[in-house]
Every structure is written in structure tokens, then in C-alpha cells.
Chain A
Amino acid sequence: MVKKRRKKDFTFWEKIYIPEIIKGLALTFKNMIGPKYTMQYPEEKFIPPPAYRGRPVLVMEANGEERCVACGLCARVCPPLAIEVIADETEREKERYPKLFEINMLRCIFCGFCEEVCPEEAIVMSKDYEMAFTNRGDAIYGKDKLLVPVSQLQERIEFLRQYKG
């Protein structure tokens, strides 16, 4: 820890303040001509790491079917009640599928609880952070927008297997 010095402990040169100002000016000048860290957003986009919690999406298997079995745990755990699931029966091996799966993106708080609670790894957080809509109706994402091929979500799924208990 740096020892706290009181005003009487300062040397003469520190007390007259001007050399210290010059030091400060030199520092800011160095930064002025140094490298810049701005990202030119629309042209140059930020690619988040796998730990990033972007828009929640449903995993779509290679055969075009969703993994989701419509258990409703995500809807139950969702703190702002953004998820709505209506289950239905199907002839497939899993027997259940969501007839309707909607996430209200105006409500979603990107907490990632849905992903944590999901027993099937069917809902995961993607890297997508660009969600703009012009009216409230557009903000409700249905299955058409939520289903994303599993190949695009591999990184996040591996991350979850590594770190989620």
C-alpha cells in the first residue's frame, strides 16, 4: 500500500506544483500521440468471446428440428417473464415439441437463467447483440427468429460444458 503523505511531507518542488503539472502534461501528450482503441462500429464489429451472453436462441439440429421438448423450465425461471412456451405432441422420438416459443426481447434481461436451467441444451445465449426494432410487435421473437443451426452455436455449447457444473 502506498503510504499516505500529507502536505507537509511534500518536497519543495512538489509544493510549487509547476513541475508536477509539467509531468502531467507530458503524460497526456504521450497519450495524445499514442495508439487509439476506438472500434469504428458499423464498419468494424465486435466479436464477443464464448462467455458473452447475447440474444438467447433455440438450438436447431442438423435435420431442421428443434431440441426443445417444451418442458417450460425456462419460462418458469425467467425473471422478467419474457418467455412463453406452448407445448404440443409429435410423432418424433422426443414426443414433445413447442408449438409456440416466444421471447419478448423488450423484457429479456440477458441473465442466461434459461440457458442454465435447460436440461436439453436447447436454449443458449448467442453472440448476437444487434437487436433493433421499430415497434413493440417486432420485439416478440417467434420460432422463426429464434431457431439457429447447432453448427453456429458450437463454441457456446462447449463453453457451457466446460464451465457449467
Chain B
Amino acid sequence: MNIWLIIGIALVKILIVIGLMLFAVTYLVYFERKISAWVQNRIGPNRVGPAGLLQSFADVLKLLLKEDIVPFNANHKIHALAPFIALFIAFTTYAVIPFGPEVYLFGENIQLVIADVNIGVLFVLALTSLGVYSLTLAGWSSGSKYSLLGGIRSSAQMISYEISMGFSVGGVILLSESLRPIAIVESQVGFLWNAVIQPIGFITFLVSAFAETNRLPFDLPEAEPELVGGYHTEYSSMKFAAFFLAEYANMIIASAMIVTLYLGGWHFPWLETFGLPGWLTVVISVLTFLFKVVFMLFFFMWIRWSIPRFRYDQLMNLGWKVMFPLSLLNLIWVAIVVMYIK
């Protein structure tokens, strides 16, 4: 295999994924506003461009033109670095998530994933837990009590939910006997998705994913009524936008992870038995994956506008006394399945 071809293919994949991610992140802001409007019987943004479709670009432009304010007490270097840690992590994680089956193109078998790492799941877990640094550093370096409280909350929350998340992922790994995302997807054939085999694990992972991405009902790090803006109180202009975009990029990662680990990835149930030509199978698979991710993103927003925020002690109770034992229970259940049924 030609080395230049390999590099070329990798570059094309990176460009496509990064492009799609940036595009999706800007439009997620638009959809969030639309969905919040619909839930409240409103129409939502509809002035900029047809049906308000250019609203997100107007928002970005507005943020770019804003004055960048740094508080007097802030640690300037870290204050500037923190939002870009968030953005970097959010965009790097996507490298290991597969979005389609193997394609035969230009005489090569191409995996539809940027990097087919055999410890992909571990990579994602490692990087997402690095994400807490950006929030904590942002909170600490701002030199403001509200930011600091938000940062501390985010680290406490992340630590308590990382554990149940890890154990839930443990169940998946036990079943597929691999840490490679592609192998995990391939182990979920037909309707034997992990969400069906281990519903408890699915729920604990889902809840932990909400907590990890700081989305409502777990958005305590930025709880507006108590903490002004939480860790991003002292951020303005493009640095604030970076946090904003990172939150949405994290949502995409979380959705893609849920789909990969629990909802069968790109699998369309029993697609192989339809006898369709190869290219059509690939197209349908990729579309299935995209559809599932979009549905999960919609679900994230839907939950946000349905459930009120948890109190801090309720959050900790839920994390340690409910989610942690449940994920352990799930692990035991999967162990039984592996031993006696499989």
C-alpha cells in the first residue's frame, strides 16, 4: 500500500470529520434554540436567513466583535488557555469513533474512522476526563468566587460520575471482548444492541454522559441562578464562544459514544439480509449512524427542556449511592450473561 495514499486518505477523513463537526456544532446552537422555543410554544429564531438558518453565523460574528475582558485578578495565561483545552479535547476525541463499516475504494479497504486504535474506548475515557481540567482551570484562573465554585463543582461532579461511567463501559467491553470501537460495534448485530442486553448499564452510562457533558439536569458547574455563569462567568468574546462550542462538541462526542457502545453504531438491523449492493449498504450504514447520533442529540436537548436542575447534594447522592451500585450490578449481570448464555 502506497504511503502517500494512506496519508491522503487519512487527511481526507480528518477534513471531512472536522468540517462536519464544526458545521454540526454551529447548527446545534441553532437547533437548541429552536427546540427550546418549540417546547415553550414559541417559534424560535426565524429572522436571519431563511427560517433563521444563518442565525448561528450571526451569533458567532457578534461574539467575535465583542470586547475580550480579562479580570484584573485573573491568571492571564491560564485564563486564555482554558477554553482552548476544552475545544482541543472536544475535537480530538472524535478521532477514534467509527462512523461506518469498511469501504472498498481505490483498491483499498478503508475503515470509516480516523484512527483505528485498539484501545479506542480507553482513549475516549482518558481524554474526556482531561476535559475537567479546562473547567477547573477556567474557574480557578478567573479570580472570581463564582467561577471558582463552578470549577470545583465541575471537578467533584466529573469524578463522581466518571466511576459509574467507567463501570458501565466495563460491561460493554466484557461483552465484546475488545476495547476497539469497531469491534464493539461489530459485536452488536441485528437487534442485539448493548442497550437491549444491558439496559441498566445503558441508563447509567446515559446519566453519566449527561453529567460529563455538563448538560441539564446536571449543569451545576454553570448553574445560572446560583453561580451567575459558573466557570465561564469571567469569559467574554471568542473565549466564551470556545467554551460554548466545546460544550456542543462534547455533546456530539457523548452522543456518538452512546451510539457506538450501546445503540449498535452504524448497524441497521438485518441490513445484510436485504441483499443490497455493497455501496448502498455502506451509504445506509453511515446514514443510520448519523440518524442515531442526531436522535441522541435531540434527546439531550429534549431532556434539557423537560427536567429541572438537580440540587448539589442530590447530584452527589445520585452519583455515589445510586449510579455506582447500579453500574456494579450491571457488570455482574453482564458477567452472568457472558458465562452462561454466550
Contacts and interface: CB of A to CB of B under 8 A. Distances in A.
Given A18-B203, A36-B43, A38-B43, A31 B38 contact: yes
Nearest to B299: A25
A25 B203 CA distance: 16
Contact of B38 (A25, A32, A40): A32
A25 B303 contact: yes
Contacts of A25: 302-303, 306
Given A31-B38, A32-B35, A24 B43 contact: no
Given A21-B307, A24-B307, A29 B41 contact: no
Interface in B19-47: 35, 37-43
Contact of B302 (A29, A33, A35, A36): A29
Nearest to A39: B43
A46 interface: no
B333 interface: no
Given A18-B203, A21-B306, A21-B307, A28 B39 contact: yes
Interface in B141-181: none
Interface in A132-162: none
Contacts of A31: 38-41
A37 B41 CA distance: 6
A28 B42 contact: no
A31 B41 CA distance: 6
A38 B42 contact: yes
A32 B39 contact: yes
A27 interface: yes
Contacts of A35: 41
B297 to A, nearest CB: 15
A20 to B, nearest CB: 10
B88 interface: no
Contacts of A24: 306-307
A8 B131 CA distance: 38
Nearest to B34: A32
Interface string B303-323: 101110000000000000000
B327 to A, nearest CB: 15
A112 B35 CA distance: 40
B261 to A, nearest CB: 20
B99 to A, nearest CB: 27
Is chain A's interface secondary structure helix, strand, loop, or mixed overall? helix
Contacts of A40: 43
B77 to A, nearest CB: 43
A7 to B, nearest CB: 11
B248 to A, nearest CB: 20
Contact of A36 (B35, B41, B303, B307): B41
B41 A28 contact: no
Question: Max chain B CB contacts within 10 Å: which of A28, A34, A38, A40?
Answer: A28
Nearest to A35: B41
Interface string A9-49: 00000000010010011011101111111101000000000
Contacts of A32: 35, 38-39
Contacts of A37: 41-42
A36 B237 CA distance: 33
B306 A34 contact: no
B307 A34 contact: no
A30 to B, nearest CB: 10
Contacts of A29: 302
Contacts of B305: 28
A27 B306 contact: yes
A35 B42 CA distance: 9
Interface string A89-121: 000000000000000000000000000000000
Interface of A: 18, 21, 24-25, 27-29, 31-38, 40
22 contacts: A18-B203, A21-B303, A24-B306, A25-B303, A27-B306, A28-B39, A28-B302, A28-B306, A29-B302, A31-B38, A31-B39, A31-B40, A32-B35, A32-B38, A32-B39, A34-B41, A36-B38, A36-B41, A37-B42, A38-B37, A38-B43, A40-B43
Interface of B: 35, 37-43, 203, 302-303, 305-307
Given A25-B302, A25-B306, A35-B41, 5 more contacts: A27-B306, A28-B39, A28-B302, A32-B35, A32-B38
